[in-house]
């Protein structure tokens, strides 16, 4: 088997092994209900299943309420146009269809499975899909050759009352239209003035030119070229789909059409566009060479003749990839969530415009991590969001859903779009709901001034910018203004519009005040005044902490450039511990929110310290709106087997008993007793009324290792550890923390209590 491209980074055997092992294929089914007891079985099947059966028989729309239909999409193909490989049969399309199902789940949490139909006859294909179509909430048609695909989609849209979407047409159209919107903006051109040439009049090409017209490109400014030349009005042997886009033009070849053109869309074959053609285009030409696996012309060839070109391809190894995964998962997500009857033109335009708008936003660090650290910023080399942008799931579907509602194809309109965005975040990010509530409480509280101690770091600047944009408070950056402005500009941020304060410790008007005050604290601890002066002048952690201590700010974030222990020692010289100081990690897994203590401060806590850790953790959890139920974890279960650490836990329980604290607690116990009330039958004396949500670990190593292990295995999202117990609000992030991690820490630093009702 020949390699598909000269840039392929894996062997053919690698690809086969990937699909073969450890289990053949790429998809499997996972139940959404527990099947652990006889009662579960009775509810799931006989006799309980009869109840929803009768309800659906009386009202078929109840299938959305009692089955998976509302989040289920079928990927259907007959294999007549597989990738760029042609008609290889329906079963040869199965790896591609399975792959599509995986992408639906990975990027939009849409459940999907594939259906391969053994027929090349369009009418027979339509009959098959029509008769099984009610099973799903939507149908994604895939790899069906042109022009049959147009007729198949059109008829199925009329025959079925659910979205039917041929992704080879519309996916490429949506992404390329989004790219065109931004490319035109960068080139300083208006859509209505663009002269657009389409090279390749297949399904994707015709849909792309159609959607671009809907977005603002004028029909008279377009020229379509197929393998026989320009599609002009009056040309013989042109099917109805091409004829709909024919224009009055004297051009008869692609080379003629591209002279003076602003845009060329390539959806044909390798080599279809030459250097001479590119050289003849208008200034700042926009070239989308989207043939796969090899584009009509490579970016290297374009660059050799035009340094002013804006280029996109269908490949991931070049910038500006036109990748359909940016479209179909989110189109269906929005359509399913309003139970749309179809995907119409307005929904596709809304998706394209939303993608274009998202590309202009600051790009999260998670994207850079997925692309080996490459920093992305809106411009010629970044006009389309990348598939690994975590914002896509909550940014794009609301625009699609709103368009469906506005055009009357939505069965179930969304009443609260902000709540919908929060729900979308939670689909792929378990921490989203918690952070939404915390953020809401911060916004509702009096404005907090938060000091970002390492203000010259680009990640810190971007986090402060995001904090400000989210209206969470007033960020203050510590550092040299010239360098901060330079780094902000390189990150694509307009600092003059940021509305953030910059404070240079060395020249601050509070420098003497802070020095005098801190010297008063440290003069009997071996520090001379000149030592303190140097600390305030040259160390931003001391200066920032002094700002908070003296009331010039309410909270502080640091830790990006130094390790945790060093930062904590510096801050402790400036700020006192109000209560017991602990590190509290938030662990979100399988729909639960757990709080783990102590994950950063006490290495081997004694019984008194364990009791204090529990009290401090319970107080903090209450402030976060949860009812604390504390479990002291151990390798032993109520004294069996005996051991020193177990005895420390038992003594901590006796201390809490004597103090009469106002929260539930129990121990010592292994995790299964803490988290599963049904496992406690042998221990009827246990005082916990439900599953524990605060886990007090016997030592720092068990706390840190357990949270990191669960996180590494992909079973949980971990926030923190949060620093709790200082007299002022300070959060220390991990060394080299990402923008999102810094912003999360800043949000907690600014947090005021009362975000969430107790549960």
Catalytic positions, written as ranges: 45, 100
- Residue 85 to residues 60, 100, 660, Cα–Cα distance (Å): 41, 17, 73
* HEC assignment per residue over 489-556: HHCCCCHHHCCCEEECHHHCCCHHHHHHHHHHHHCCCCCCHHHHHHHHHHCHHHHHHHHHHCCCCCEE
Query: Where is 112: in which H helix or E strand?
Result: strand 111-116
* Token pair of 386 as six digits: 């990348």
Sign of the torsion formed by the C-alpha atoms of 336, 342, 348 and 350: negative
> Distance (Å, rounded) from C-alpha 369 to C-alpha 367?
5
> Distance (Å, rounded) from C-alpha 564 to C-alpha 731?
10
* Token pair of 366 as six digits: 């998670």
Q: Chain centroid to CA 278: how far?
A: 37
Which of 70, 81, 45 minimizes the C-alpha distance to 172?
81
Q: Chain centroid to CA 351: how far?
A: 16
Whether the CB-CB separation of 355 and 397 falls below 8 Å is answered with no
- Residue 372 to residues 367, 375, 492, Cα–Cα distance (Å): 9, 9, 20
> Distance (Å, rounded) from C-alpha 646 to C-alpha 708?
23
> Distance (Å, rounded) from C-alpha 372 to C-alpha 533?
42
Tokens 């002009």 identify what position? 232
Sign of the torsion formed by the C-alpha atoms of 747, 748, 751 and 755: positive
> Distance (Å, rounded) from C-alpha 8 to C-alpha 84?
15
> Distance (Å, rounded) from C-alpha 340 to C-alpha 415?
15
* Token pair of 732 as six digits: 């220390």
Whether the CB-CB separation of 679 and 643 falls below 8 Å is answered with no
For 259, list phi and psi in degrees, rounded to 5. -65, 115
Give the CA count within 13 Å in the CB-facing half-sphere of 707: 28
Distance in Å from the first CA to the final CA of the chain: 59
For 628, list phi and psi in degrees, rounded to 5. -75, 135
Sign of the torsion formed by the C-alpha atoms of 492, 493, 495 and 501: negative
> Distance (Å, rounded) from C-alpha 733 to C-alpha 651?
33
Partnered with residue 289 across adjacent β-strands are 266, 313
Partnered with residue 225 across adjacent β-strands are 199, 230
Whether the CB-CB separation of 97 and 27 falls below 8 Å is answered with no
10 Å CB burial of residue 546 (0-12, 13-18, 19+) is: buried
> Distance (Å, rounded) from C-alpha 598 to C-alpha 695?
9
Tokens 């005044």 identify what position? 529
> Distance (Å, rounded) from C-alpha 473 to C-alpha 443?
7
| DSSP classification of residue 6 | T
* Token pair of 693 as six digits: 């949500």
| DSSP classification of residue 26 | S
> Distance (Å, rounded) from C-alpha 197 to C-alpha 191?
13
């Amino acid at each position: 088997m020949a390699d598909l491209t000269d840039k392929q980074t894996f062997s053919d055997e690698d690809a086969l092994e990937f699909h073969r092992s450890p289990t053949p294929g790429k998809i499997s089914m996972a139940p959404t209900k527990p099947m652990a007891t006889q009662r579960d079985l009775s509810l799931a099947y006989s006799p309980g299943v009869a109840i929803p059966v009768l309800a659906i028989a009386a009202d078929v729309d109840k299938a959305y309420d009692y089955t998976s239909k509302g989040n289920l999409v079928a990927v259907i193909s007959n294999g007549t146009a597989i990738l760029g490989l042609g008609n290889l049969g329906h079963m040869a399309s199965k790896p591609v269809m399975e792959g599509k199902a995986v992408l639906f789940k990975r990027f939009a949490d849409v459940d999907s499975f594939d259906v391969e139909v053994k027929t090349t006859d369009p009418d027979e294909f339509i009959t098959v899909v029509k008769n099984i179509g009610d099973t799903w909430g939507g149908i994604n048609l895939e790899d069906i050759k042109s022009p049959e695909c147009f007729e198949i989609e059109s008829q199925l849209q009329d025959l079925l009352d659910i979205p039917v979407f041929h992704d080879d047409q519309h996916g490429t159209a949506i992404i390329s239209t989004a790219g065109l919107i931004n490319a035109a903006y960068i080139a300083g051109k208006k859509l209505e003035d663009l002269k657009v040439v389409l090279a390749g009049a297949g399904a994707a090409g015709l849909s792309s030119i159609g959607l671009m017209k809907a977005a603002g490109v004028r029909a008279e400014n377009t020229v379509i070229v197929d393998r026989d030349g320009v599609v002009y009005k009056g040309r013989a042997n042109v099917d109805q789909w091409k004829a709909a886009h024919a224009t009055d033009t004297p051009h008869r070849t692609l080379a003629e059409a591209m002279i003076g053109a602003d845009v060329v869309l390539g959806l044909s074959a390798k080599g279809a566009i030459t250097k001479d053609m590119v050289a003849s285009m208008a200034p700042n030409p926009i070239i989308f060479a989207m043939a796969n696996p090899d584009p009509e012309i490579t970016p290297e060839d374009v660059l050799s003749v035009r340094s002013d070109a804006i280029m996109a391809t269908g490949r991931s190894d070049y910038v500006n990839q036109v990748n359909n995964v940016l479209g179909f998962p989110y189109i269906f997500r929005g359509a399913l969530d309003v139970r749309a009857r179809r995907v119409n033109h307005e929904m596709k335009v809304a998706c394209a415009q939303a993608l274009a708008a998202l590309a202009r936003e600051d790009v999260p660090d998670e994207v850079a991590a997925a692309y080996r650290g490459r920093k992305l910023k809106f411009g010629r080399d970044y006009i389309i969001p990348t598939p690994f942008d975590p914002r896509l799931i909550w940014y794009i579907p609301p625009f699609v859903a709103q368009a469906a509602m506005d055009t009357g194809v939505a069965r179930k309109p969304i009443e609260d779009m902000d709540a919908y965005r929060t729900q979308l975040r939670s689909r792929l990010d378990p921490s989203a709901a918690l952070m939404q509530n915390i953020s809401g409480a911060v916004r509702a509280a009096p404005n907090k001034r938060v000091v970002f101690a390492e203000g010259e770091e680009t990640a810190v600047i971007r986090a402060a910018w995001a904090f400000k944009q989210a209206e969470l408070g007033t960020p203050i950056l510590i550092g040299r203004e010239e360098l901060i402005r330079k780094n902000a500009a390189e990150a694509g941020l307009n600092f003059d519009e940021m509305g953030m304060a910059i404070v240079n410790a060395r020249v601050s008007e509070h420098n003497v005040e802070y020095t005098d005050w801190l010297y008063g604290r440290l003069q009997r601890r071996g520090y001379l005044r000149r030592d303190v002066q140097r600390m305030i002048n040259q160390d931003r952690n001391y200066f920032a902490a002094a700002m908070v201590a003296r009331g010039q700010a309410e909270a502080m974030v640091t830790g990006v450039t130094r390790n945790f222990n060093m930062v904590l020692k510096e801050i402790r010289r400036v700020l006192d511990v109000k209560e017991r100081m602990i590190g509290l990690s938030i662990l979100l897994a399988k729909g639960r929110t757990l709080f783990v203590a102590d994950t950063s401060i006490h290495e081997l806590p004694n019984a008194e310290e364990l009791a204090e850790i529990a009290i401090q953790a319970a107080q903090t959890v209450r402030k976060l709106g949860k009812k604390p139920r504390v479990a002291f974890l151990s390798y032993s279960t109520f004294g069996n087997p005996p051991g020193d650490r177990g005895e420390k836990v038992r003594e901590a329980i006796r201390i809490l008993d004597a103090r009469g604290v106002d929260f539930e607690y129990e121990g010592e116990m292994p995790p299964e007793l803490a988290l599963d009330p049904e496992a406690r039958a042998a221990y009827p004396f246990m005082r916990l009324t439900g599953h524990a949500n605060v886990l007090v670990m016997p030592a720092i190593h068990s706390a840190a290792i357990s949270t990191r292990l669960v996180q590494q295995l992909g079973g949980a999202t971990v926030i923190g550890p949060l620093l709790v117990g200082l007299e002022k609000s300070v959060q220390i992030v991990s060394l080299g923390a990402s923008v999102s991690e810094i912003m999360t820490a800043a949000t907690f630093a600014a947090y005021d209590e009362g975000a969430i009702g107790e549960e």
